[in-house]
Structures are given as C-alpha cells and as structure tokens.
Structure 1
Amino acid sequence: MNPYRILVVDDEEDLCEILQFNLETEGYLVDVAYSAEEALKKDISIYNLLLLDVMMGEVSGFKMARILRENPKMANIPIIFLTAKDSETDRLTGFNIGADDYISKPFSIREVLARVKAVIRRADTNKVEAAPTLVLSYEKLEMSLENKKVMLEGVEVPFTKKEFEILKLFLGNKNRVFSRDEMLSRVWSDEVIVLDRTIDVNITRLRKKIGPYGKNIVTRLGYGYCFEE
C-alpha cells in the first residue's frame, strides 16, 4: 500500500470520483472535499499532497492555499492546482502563492498521475535535503552527529572516533549508567580484544576535553559510568 495521503478538493463531484478512483488504483490513500470550506474542516496536516481546484464557491482554491501557507503546520504541504483558468496571470498567481504544479482542465488522468508522482518525489527529496543537523547537547557542550564535531562554548574540540562515540552514548542517554561490558559492545564492537583499562583511559581523556562538564561523567562503583545532568 502506498503510504501517501492525498486530498482532492473540487466542486465537480464526478471529477472528484474519477480522480479518487484512479489515485487509489495507484495505491494512494485519497480523501475528497467538494469545497474549500469542507476541506478546511479536516486535519490537512496529515496529507502529503493537495489537488486543489481554483474556481470554487466563496472560498477559491487560491484563497484556501493562502490560508494554508500562513499556517506553519501546513505551509509545506505540496499543492497542485487544477483549473480551467489557464492564462499566464493565473498560472503566475498560483506559483506565487506556493503551488508545486498547475494542471489545466481538461486534462488526462495519465498526466495527473505522472505529475502527482513527480511532486511527491520532489517533496521527499527536499525533506531529506532540508533535514536539520542532528545535535546532542548539554548546556554549552554540543556535538553534531552529522558533521562529527564537538563544540565547547562555541569552540571546536578535537575528538578521536572512540571519544566521540562515548560522548554520543552519554549525551544521548543522560543519567543512564552504562556498564563496561555494555560500553565495550557499543563502542568497540568491531575489535576483538579490548581491556577494561582502555575504557578508563578514554573516560579520563574525555573528562579533560569537555572542561567544566567533565564532572558530569560520574563513576558508579561496581556498575559503570553515566553522564549526570
């Protein structure tokens, strides 16, 4: 089953049925609304794409799109306008509002399906590119899991791979105690023989490198280590 949800908004009921049938045949989850007013009563944030007619009742497709673009929860939902208004001015209006595509009526279903697929693919790509850098932090100590950098009060501190992995383990699981065996299996999983002393040495170096936060790495005698908030 295709996981993507699509909302079709058009006051032509026959057209809505045709679009719903063909999109569902492609595996999409499809809901229909016969006016902008009806559509705006739904939780639009759950949809991956809107197929939105321009010429509808009191609230036009353009007006509905403007309402959505002003709401942070729905501002980035892709919109394809469906309309008989095909002048250059109308198309520019649609794109200036934030349309992802603009299909003129009458259209072929094959064209709609192709454009839907392209817009969803593009939206997925943009999400990946726009994904924020994953950061673990405690007060003025930050580590970027993407760039593999550790910053202490805004200054980068050089870390070995093992030191980085230990700090990642601690900051990602604050206040949790890790036994030596667990740390060995998580940080040194690719090595055959590692002594307990190796962990102690790395912990000592790590405490020095993170300055005032070294005291947050505490030893629980008989149990292991943890990063205390």
Structure 2
Amino acid sequence: MNDYRILVVDDEEDLCEILKFNLENEGYEVDTANSAEEALKKDISSYDLLLLDVMMGEISGFKMANVLKKDKKTANVPIIFITAKDTENDTVTGFNIGADDYISKPFSLREVIARVKAVLKRTATVETEKIPERITYQSLIIDITKKKVSIDEKEISLTKKEFEILFLLLQNKGRVFSREDILSRIWSDEVYVLDRTIDVNITRLRKKIGVYGKRIVTRLGYGYCFETE
C-alpha cells in the first residue's frame, strides 16, 4: 500500500475513472475533478501529485498550474501534465510553468503508472533534502547536521540505517510507512533487501531509544509509524 494522494483533473469523465481505477490498484488514494474550477475547490496542498489535463474549459491546465505555483501552500505539489497536444512549444510551456513531467495522449496505462512512480520517488527525495537542522520529540533529539541522536542529552549509538529509519518516522509523525516505502527510501540503491531486514532494524532501534521505542508502532498489514499519542 502506498501512502500517497493523487488528484486527477480532466474533463473526460471516462478517462478520469480509468486512471482512478488503475492508480488505486497500485495502492494510491485517488480523487478526480472534471474541471479546473472543481479542482481548485479542493485542498490541493493535501495531495502528493496532480495529473492535470491541459485542454479544459475556461481555465486550462496551464492556467490552473500557474495559480498553484504562485501560492506558497501549493507551489511544491508535483504536476504531471496530460494532453492531446504534442508540440515542442506546449512541452516547453509546461516545463516552464513548473511541470515535473508531461504525457501525451494517447498513452498506455503502464506508462502513466511508471511516470507517477518516478515523479513521486524523485519529489520525495527532494522533500527529504529540505530538512531542518534538528528534529525533536520531548527529550529525543535528532541532530541532522551531525547525524547524531540523543535522549536527555545523552548520545545514542545508531547505525546509518537505524538513524535514517528514525529520521523518516519522526519527521513524519503519525504517517504510516509500508515496508516497500521504507525500502525504496532507505535501501534505494541496494538490489536484494528482504522485508525481514526492516523488521530487524526496527527491533534494534526500539531497544536503543528506550522509552521512545514504544512510539514506533506496527500497523499490521500496513507498516510502521511514530505515534505521539
């Protein structure tokens, strides 16, 4: 299961439903809108990605994207443009606005899914790079710059993977990460890694952070999260 929300905006209702069905089969949470006007009534900042048709009624996909990019709350939401137009000028326009990718109709669903996964992975990495110097929860402190963890000002010795898992979970308190999510983010460059490897690292991490270990909760069938309540 993926923990990403996607908004599909296209005036072709059938196409919206097809994309919704197939993306939900991949584990994404998907909403649809059949116009830019309808889409702009939603909380765009709550989505991890927009699939946005260019050729729509009064407000085109380009116009909608311009609106979003000028708003601080939505400026960083990734956009993949979908369009029947396939000219160099339109592609350049899309990327100049701030598009993360551009898909021309007709397209294969496999291509759409592959591009969605690529953009989400890429933008997730970028978001991880935009980090504060330290993250805290009560007396648990992660010093991002020095790559150190301390509890009550006493340094805790963690391996690189344990540190990265704790950082991921604490930075996103309350958000459930599946084993697949953790593997793709922390073991992204390693080909053969078993799910069991994550469980072992989580178990060790819980022991090392003492009373805060119980905050790393297992959601059976879903994954792990750091709970604060």
- What TM-score bracket applies, with the shorter chain setting the length? 0.5 to 0.7
Corresponding residue for residue 154 of structure 2: 187
Q: Rg: which structure is higher?
A: 1
Corresponding residue for residue 25 of structure 1: 25
CA distances 1:179-214 after superposition (whole Å, capped 9, x unpaired) = xxxxxxx62778xxxxxxxxxxxxxxxxxxxxxxxx
Question: Is there any run of 5+ residues in structure 1 with no aligned partner, and where?
Answer: 137-142, 150-160, 170-185, 191-229
Corresponding residue for residue 77 of structure 1: 77
Q: Distance in 2 between matches of 1:28 and 1:187?
A: 40
C-alpha spacing 1:106/1:128, structure 2 compared with 1 (3 Å): same
Q: Distance in 1 between matches of 2:47 and 2:15?
A: 20
**How many Å apart are 1:131 and its aligned residue?**
1.6
CA distances 1:103-143 after superposition (whole Å, capped 9, x unpaired) = 0000000000000000000011101122232289xxxxxx9
CA distances 1:65-101 after superposition (whole Å, capped 9, x unpaired) = 0000011111000000000111000000000000000
Corresponding residue for residue 210 of structure 2: none
Corresponding residue for residue 89 of structure 1: 89
1:192-211 correspondence runs (5 A): none
TM-score (norm 2): 0.62
C-alpha spacing 1:11/1:146, structure 2 compared with 1 (3 Å): same
Question: Is there any run of 5+ residues in structure 2 with no aligned partner, and where?
Answer: 158-229
Corresponding residue for residue 103 of structure 1: 103
Q: Distance in 1 between matches of 2:106 and 2:72?
A: 33
C-alpha spacing 1:189/1:71, structure 2 compared with 1 (3 Å): closer
Q: Which amino acid aligns with 1:7?
A: L
1:147 alignment partner, one of 145, 148, 152: 145
Q: Distance in 2 between matches of 1:104 and 1:13?
A: 18
Q: Distance in 1 between matches of 2:88 and 2:114?
A: 22
Kept in 1: contact 2:9–2:33 (CA 8 A): yes
Aligned-CA RMSD value: 2.5
1:11-22 correspondence runs (5 A): 11-22=11-22
Q: Distance in 2 between matches of 1:46 and 1:63?
A: 20
Kept in 1: contact 2:9–2:52 (CA 8 A): yes
Q: Mean alpha-carbon deviation: is it higher for 127-136 or for 73-82?
A: 127-136
Aligned to 1:74, what secondary structure does the other structure show?
A: coil
Q: Mean alpha-carbon deviation: is it higher for 122-131 or for 42-51?
A: 122-131
Once the two structures are aligned, what percentage of the paired residues are identical?
67
Corresponding residue for residue 63 of structure 1: 63
Q: Distance in 1 between matches of 2:109 and 2:63?
A: 25
Aligned to 1:68, what secondary structure does the other structure show?
A: helix
**How many residue pairs get matched?**
153
